[in-house]
Structure formats: C-alpha cells, structure tokens
C-alpha cells in the first residue's frame, strides 16, 4: 500500500518538487559533452603554441565559435548541477547551504556568460 | 534539520576500502577539480578577447612548469571524468552492474585515462617539436 496521495503519485515529483529534472539534465549535458570534449581536446592540441592572431582567426571560423559556445553552455550547466549535489551532500546548515548554492550558481552563470561573451567578441572580429 | 540523537548511517571510515568505492570518490573529486579548471579556460578566452598582450601573459603562465603541471593534472582529471562518466551512463541504462563487470570497467577507466593523458601529452610535445 502506498501512503502517497493520488495527486502526489501522479505528479511524481518527490520532496524536492522537481522530479528527475536535475538527474536528467546531468545526463543530457553529459552525453552532449562526450563529442564536445573530444572536439575541445583536438582543438587545444591543434592550437598548441599558436599566437594571438592564429587563435583569433581560428575562433572566427563559425564552426569553431559555435562549437566553443556549445561546449561552454554544456560544461557550465553540467558543472553547476554537479557542484550543487556536492554542496547539498556536505553542507548541512540550511542558511549556509542556500548561500553556498546561490554563490556557486551565480558564479557559474557569470563565468559561463563571460566565456561566451569572449568567444563572440573574437568571433565577430573584436 | 535537527537530527537529535537518531542513529546515523555508518561513516566512511568503517568500510573496507574497495576499488569501486575509490573510483566513485575520484569521480566527484575530478569533477570538482575540473570546475576549478574552468577558471583557466575563462581566463584564456577573456585574454584572447582582450588582445595580444593579455593573451601572451596567459600563454606564458600556462607554459611555465607550474602551469604545465596544472594542465597535466587537469588533462588526467578530464579523461578520468570523461571515461568514468561513460561508465556511469552505462549504469544509467542498467548495464554493467555485475561485480566482475563493475570492477573490470573500473580498471579499464583508470588505464584508459592514464593512457589517453600520456598519449595527448606525447602528441602535444611532438606537435610543438620538442620530441
């Protein structure tokens, strides 16, 4: 016999009220990062020792710029999901936990947007 | 939430160390380490956007021995998290839970991450004409 209410069972969201969304997005970004990471390693290898002009020209290729932005989005999304679980596991005080989560999520957003801005600035010829 | 005097689940110290358990902890540790590594990526991109002078500074820092040491660590952390992440994805679709399989896939991940790191750095040094 289940003690859950019919409405709770239908919604299936559990105590966090978000269901499997966190788990699922972690997996979606992980799968996206498989090809993106391989591409990134190849890209870094091909740019070893390159000077500013060479790397800028490389970033101005639409394919490279778009893949770079995709890598940044997937990486920072995956990162903040992962760090969220680490914080939730190890920080037990409710106040400090919420504060840590806000700082970490805000920081991830700032870093991701700064990185994207940098890529676009170079890609558009700045 | 107050736990009062309710019993706790056993702490980590109580378990005999196992290969799979160490690898699981390592997955989280490399993930956190890679989060630190994103700072270098962001700095590198911002410097690139800022101009040749800033870019040369970052390249100099990365090229120093300590920069290369960090990069070597991050290369391995990336390959480990990458390979073990794929191992996790197989578990997610319900495959590879048998004890033998889980242990062997663990060995494979460690060997693959070390091998890929070595390969990447050898190819990298060869590309730069240092080998």
* CB proximity A17 to B under 8 Å: no
Nearest to A23 by CA among A87, A73, A66, A85: A85
Query: Distance between CA B39 and CA B67 in Å, rounded?
Result: 13
pLDDT at A126 > cutoff 60 = no
Average confidence (pLDDT) over A52-62: 97
Residue carrying the six token digits 């020209």: A57
Of residues B95 and B11, more confidence is placed in: B95
A32 vs A51, A108, B91, CA distance in Å? 30, 18, 17
pLDDT-derived band at B1, boundaries 50, 70, 90: low
User: Contact A52/B46, CB-based, under 8 Å?
Assistant: no
What is the pLDDT at residue A32?
98
Mean pLDDT, chain A, whole residue set: 93
| pLDDT tens digits, one per residue of B36-76 | 999 999 999 999 999 999 999 999 999 999 999 999 999 99
The whole-angstrom distance between A125's CA and the closest CA on chain B is 9
Nearest to A114 by CA among B67, B62, B50, B59: B50
| pLDDT tens digits, one per residue of A7-52 | 777 777 776 777 789 999 999 999 999 999 999 999 999 999 999 9
Which positions 18-47 of A are in contact with B (Cβ < 8 Å)? 27, 30-31, 33-34, 37, 41, 45
CB < 8 Å to B128, chain A? 48-49
The whole-angstrom distance between A12's CA and the closest CA on chain B is 19
CB < 8 Å to B56, chain A? 51-52
Average confidence (pLDDT) over A68-90: 97
ipTM value, please give it. Answer: 0.89
pLDDT-derived band at A78, boundaries 50, 70, 90: very high
CB count within 10 Å of CB B124 equals: 19
Residue carrying the six token digits 């995709």: A70
Is residue A72 within 8 A of residue A116, CB to CB? The reply is yes
Is residue B54 within 8 A of residue B47, CB to CB? The reply is yes
pLDDT-derived band at B90, boundaries 50, 70, 90: very high
Average confidence (pLDDT) over B15-29: 91
| pLDDT tens digits, one per residue of A94-109 | 999 999 999 999 999 9
Instruction: Name the 3-class secondary structure at B100.
Output: helix
Residue carrying the six token digits 């290898």: A45
A66 vs A50, A54, A116, A124, A125, CA distance in Å? 20, 18, 10, 12, 14
Q: What is the DSSP string of B42-77?
A: HHHHHHHHH-HHHHHHHHHHHHSHHHHHHHHHHHHH
pLDDT at B114 > cutoff 80 = yes
Residue carrying the six token digits 């989060």: B35
């Amino acid at each position: 016999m289940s003690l859950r209410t019919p409405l709770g069972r239908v919604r299936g969201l559990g105590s966090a009220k978000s269901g499997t969304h966190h788990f699922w997005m972690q997996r979606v970004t992980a799968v996206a990062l498989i090809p993106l990471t391989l591409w990134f390693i190849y890209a870094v290898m091909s740019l070893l020792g390159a000077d500013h002009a060479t790397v800028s020209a490389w970033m101005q290729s639409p394919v490279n710029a778009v893949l770079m932005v995709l890598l940044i989005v997937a990486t920072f999304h995956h990162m903040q999901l992962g760090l969220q679980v680490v914080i939730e596991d190890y920080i037990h005080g409710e106040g400090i936990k919420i504060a840590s989560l806000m700082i970490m999520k805000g920081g991830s957003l700032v870093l991701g947007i700064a990185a994207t801005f940098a890529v676009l600035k170079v890609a558009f010829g700045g | 939430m107050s736990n009062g005097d309710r019993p706790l689940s056993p702490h980590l110290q109580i378990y005999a160390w196992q290969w799979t358990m160490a690898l699981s902890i390592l997955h989280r540790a490399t993930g956190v380490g890679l989060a630190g590594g994103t700072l270098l990526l962001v700095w590198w991109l911002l410097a690139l956007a800022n101009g040749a002078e800033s870019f040369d500074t970052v390249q100099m820092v990365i090229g120093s021995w300590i920069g290369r040491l960090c990069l070597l660590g991050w290369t391995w952390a990336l390959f480990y998290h990458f390979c073990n992440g794929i191992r996790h994805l197989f578990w997610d679709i319900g495959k590879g839970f048998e004890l033998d399989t889980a242990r062997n896939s663990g060995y494979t991940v460690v060997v693959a991450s070390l091998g890929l790191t070595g390969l990447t750095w050898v190819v990298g040094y060869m590309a730069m004409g240092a080998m």
